[in-house]
Amino acid sequence: MDKTTALSMLDFIQRSPSCYHAVANLAAMLEEAGFAPLAEHTRWPLEAGGSYYVVRNGASLLAFRIPEQLDDCGFMIGAAHGDSPTLKLKAIPELVHRDYLKLNVAKYGGINLSPWLDRPLSVAGRVTVLEEDGRVDTRLVNLDRDLVLIPNLSIHMNRQINDGVALNPQIDMLPLLGQGEEPGTIAALVGESLGVERDAILDTDLFLYLRESGRIWGAKEEFLSSPRLDDLECAWACTRALIETPRPRSIAVSVVFDNEEVGSRTKQGAASNFLQDTLDHIGFCLGRSVQQHRALLTSSLMVSADNSHALHPNHPEKSDELNFPRMNGGVVIKYSARQKYTTDAITAGLFKVLCRQAHVPVQVYHNRSDMSGGGTLGNISSAHVSIHTVDVGVAQLAMHSCYETAGVQDVRYLLDAMKAVYASRIVCEGLGTYRILPGNG
């Protein structure tokens, strides 16, 4: 088991309690590796062999490397998302009931509520601050302490608690912040953390996060558990693989979108023009005509990376009889007859060849035919940029819980698979015929 790679990923997740922190940490990784920051509103001075990244709204990031030999290369893209299901603080975030001060929160995404109960939680995200010179500045904030907890109801007060409980997010999921406190406590804590007056804080995007750190465990230390594995595991692997691929044969791209968990229909989500605009901008700055740019999209591949459901040890009946993945079994290719996943025979075949070249095992996943599964950003994004796309991930348990479980070795498998994607080139030689040119080593 490659614990070193898994521990590096877990460290990144621990330092990324919100999507904004995740993007900031990815940007720091890229800059340390020599990637130059770009701004969307300027023309980019791109050069062959150069490495660059651009951030939209502090919430989504796209990084890319240009090969030393440009000729007629397309794009090799890895796509993931940086947000996770959680509870978000409302605009007026506090309410007092009798002696208790509670936070007023709303569900963000398809959150599994029950695991959030009786655990130490904190608050992180971003705020806008009015500076003394009149500028409106955006600051990241992480209160980084055992700050709140959502208390369960005692079994003595609910004798049916083990029969299953319907949790009302407006009643049962309000975190306890303090006793004998007045509203304004959160603003005061945020101001103190940032070193600004409470009145200078204009607005906030703040979320709850689980304080428990990621861990490696199991009889042979084969498992890992952590908050936000879906989808920071893939976001980290896509970005890390790009950093570790200094000589791509195509334009290698890693994009991390926001808001996948709530439908992607935002200015920084997969349904936005972020990917399309950036790819167009790259082609324009490299002197390609519109016709050349569009033609090269046919020799491109996007890998939509978002984790998959592993065979459950206590509920194997929830998986398809044959098409189920195991943790530590390799990268999972995801299929859907309803096209919730974009995978088809061509894109799966191309990805399998790349994994074979990298000595990475692959598995397959289908939902049971009588169960409706989730979707990913792959089909949303490819509706805006028509590129061959395959949906992949690694197998995990307890998806959308606040503490999820996956395989240690799969972190390495995903990293190596994405390195093979970025290093290679795909050439469309005619209708349904493709040649894969492997990486330069």
Question: Could you give the dihedral angle defined by the CA atoms of residues 344, 347, 348 and 350, in that order, rounded to the nearest 10 degrees?
Answer: 150
d(CA 237, CA 302): 15
d(CA 326, CA 319): 11
d(CA 7, CA 291): 45
CA 365 from chain centre, in angstroms, equals 20
Q: Tell me: the pLDDT tens digits for 306-337?
A: 999 999 999 999 998 999 999 999 999 999 88
Peptide bond into 231 cis (omega under 30): yes
pLDDT at residue 208, rounded to an integer: 98
Cβ atoms of residues 89 and 207 within 8 Å: yes
pLDDT at residue 69, rounded to an integer: 87
pLDDT at residue 372, rounded to an integer: 79
CATH code for the part of the protein at 3-84+227-437: 3.40.630.10
Q: Tell me: the pLDDT tens digits for 330-374?
A: 999 999 888 889 999 999 999 999 999 999 999 999 999 998 777
pLDDT at residue 22, rounded to an integer: 98
Greatest CA separation for the chain: 72
* 83: nearest Cα among 55, 56, 116, 60: 60
Question: Could you give the dihedral angle defined by the CA atoms of residues 194, 197, 199 and 202, in that order, rounded to the nearest 10 degrees?
Answer: -20
| Structure-model confidence comparison of residues 13 and 155, the more confident one | 13
pLDDT at residue 439, rounded to an integer: 80
* 421: nearest Cα among 360, 343, 342, 344: 360
**Enclosing H/E stretch for 423:** helix 408-423
Mean pLDDT within 393-415: 97
d(CA 439, CA 441): 5
| CATH code 2.30.250.10 region(s) in the chain | 86-210
| CATH code 3.40.630.10 region(s) in the chain | 3-84+227-437
Task: Work out the angle at residue 178's Cα, subtended by the Cα atoms of residues 176 and 179, and round it to the nearest 5 degrees.
Answer: 115
> Which residues, at least 6 apart from 8, have a Cβ–Cβ distance to it below 8 Å?
240
Q: Tell me: the pLDDT tens digits for 145-199?
A: 999 999 999 989 888 888 888 999 999 999 999 998 888 999 999 999 999 998 9
In 321-383, which ranges are continuous DSSP H helix? 345-357, 377-382
Q: Tell me: the pLDDT tens digits for 286-306?
A: 988 888 888 888 889 999 999
Q: Tell me: the pLDDT tens digits for 248-272?
A: 999 999 999 999 998 888 999 999 9
pLDDT at residue 7, rounded to an integer: 98
CATH architecture of 86-210: Roll (2.30)
Share of the chain above pLDDT 70, in %: 100
> Which residues, at least 6 apart from 430, have a Cβ–Cβ distance to it below 8 Å?
none
Q: Tell me: the pLDDT tens digits for 122-146?
A: 999 999 999 989 899 999 999 999 9
Q: Which residues pair with 225 in a beta bridge?
A: 215, 405
pLDDT at residue 441, rounded to an integer: 52
pTM of the model: 0.95
CB atoms near residue 403 (< 10 Å): 18
Question: Could you give the dihedral angle defined by the CA atoms of residues 398, 404, 408 and 409, in that order, rounded to the nearest 10 degrees?
Answer: 50
Residue 245 tokens read as 């691929």
Q: Compute the mean pLDDT over every residue in the chain, rounded to the nearest whole number.
A: 94
pLDDT at residue 182, rounded to an integer: 84
CB atoms near residue 411 (< 10 Å): 28
d(CA 324, CA 367): 8
Q: What CA–CA distances, in Å, run from 285 to 121, 277, 296?
A: 46, 12, 15
CA 17 from chain centre, in angstroms, equals 12
